[in-house]
A and B are shown apart, each in its own frame.
Chain A
Amino acid sequence: MEATSVVQLDQTKAKDECLNLSLRPLQVSDVDDFMVWASDEKVTRFCTWEPYTNKEDGLNYIKNTVVPHPWFRAICVDDRPVGAISVSANSGNDKCRGELGYVLASKYWGKGIVTRAVKMVVDTIFVEWPHLERLEALVDVENVGSQRVLEKAGFQREGVLRKYFILKGRSRDMVMFSLLSTDYQS
């Protein structure tokens, strides 16, 4: 009995790792796939925004925020968008720093997809942005899943910033993670 369930678990894990994952720009034509995760309140729980309720808003978001964004990619399984990952840019004395954010349709949670996507971003961002020294991410203290993603992707936990952020009207403690270009090289 035990031997069988162990074999089944390994097969599921192997299937997840075989998922054909890619990153590409998110386009206006992807709006229906976008709405799948953007309208899901499980997904938006730790996002600053409320779930999207109409396609018009989705189109506007893609046109006005995604398209001009310095670095925004759809996370795709078999070339269909199931989430998104982005790096923000700063200027002046803060140019060395970029902030990582990501979101994934809940149906695809628990398969290691975001960890793989983060690793793909890390593999390319320091090359595309040679001025980038530090990639950081801020995660709600209650968002344990997201903290595990960053730990598995090799980020260092630097500390908890108290009442750092106001999420949907409530102040939240956030965990600060970072990965330096020098961490990545070694």
Chain B
Amino acid sequence: MEVDLSKITLRPFKLEDADDFLLFAGDDQVTNYLRWQTLNSKQEALDHIKDVCIPHPWRRSICIDNCSIGFISIFPFSGEEHRFKANIGYGVAVKYWGHGIATKALKMAVPQFFADFPDVVRLEAFIDAQNLGSQRVVEKTGFQKEGMLRKYAYMKGKLRDMFIYSFLSTDLPANP
């Protein structure tokens, strides 16, 4: 399958995306390193879009020809002391892995997010030590690996080592 990366776009989710959403959110391979449970039905997909995607401070559908094939989620922390930081997560349908889509989408999302949230100075990603594919994606996007946090948190019942990466607003290339 050839993928024309210039056809990748980002937009907010709509209820109409439910079937496409289920294709990736219903797949254990995609949700393996995510906090969410794999979805099981179109109704769950509709509920998730309505209750989580749409009210979310910054969640975008990764689209090819306006069809949802994945998501990027950036969550600013709350509270006076933490709102200058945000956490990024993403997923792409397995059928589309291996084409550089996630990297392309992240490269589009990061500057958009910093423009939408000018108070945020630090965007961080926690990537499972075994999730080599995702480590490569964030590295190609320009995130800096800061270290490995040993036994940092439980993920789906197992204690995990995680790499912590960051992209600072000051890491963005200066405007020409």
Q: Contact residues of A with B, CB < 8 Å? A: 48, 92-97, 133-134, 136, 156, 158-164, 166, 171, 176, 178, 180
Contacts and interface: CB of A to CB of B under 8 A. Distances in A.
A97 B81 contact: no
Interface string B7-49: 0000000000000000000000000000100000000000000
Interface residues of B, number: 21
Helix, strand, loop or mixed for chain B's interface?
A: strand
Contact of A48 (B81, B121, B166): B81
A161 B154 contact: no
Contacts of B166: 161-163
B148 A159 contact: yes
- 4 pairs of A and B residues whose beta carbons are closest in the complex: A159-B147, A158-B147, A93-B154, A159-B146
Helix, strand, loop or mixed for chain A's interface?
A: strand
A162 B149 contact: no
A166 B146 contact: no
Nearest to B167: A162
B84 interface: yes
B81 A166 contact: yes
Contact of B164 (A48, A134, A156, A159): A159
A178 B150 contact: yes
A180 B150 contact: yes
Given A134-B152, A171-B84, A178-B150, A162 B164 contact: no
16 contacts: A93-B153, A93-B154, A93-B155, A94-B154, A96-B153, A96-B159, A133-B159, A134-B151, A156-B150, A160-B146, A162-B168, A163-B84, A163-B168, A171-B121, A176-B164, A178-B150
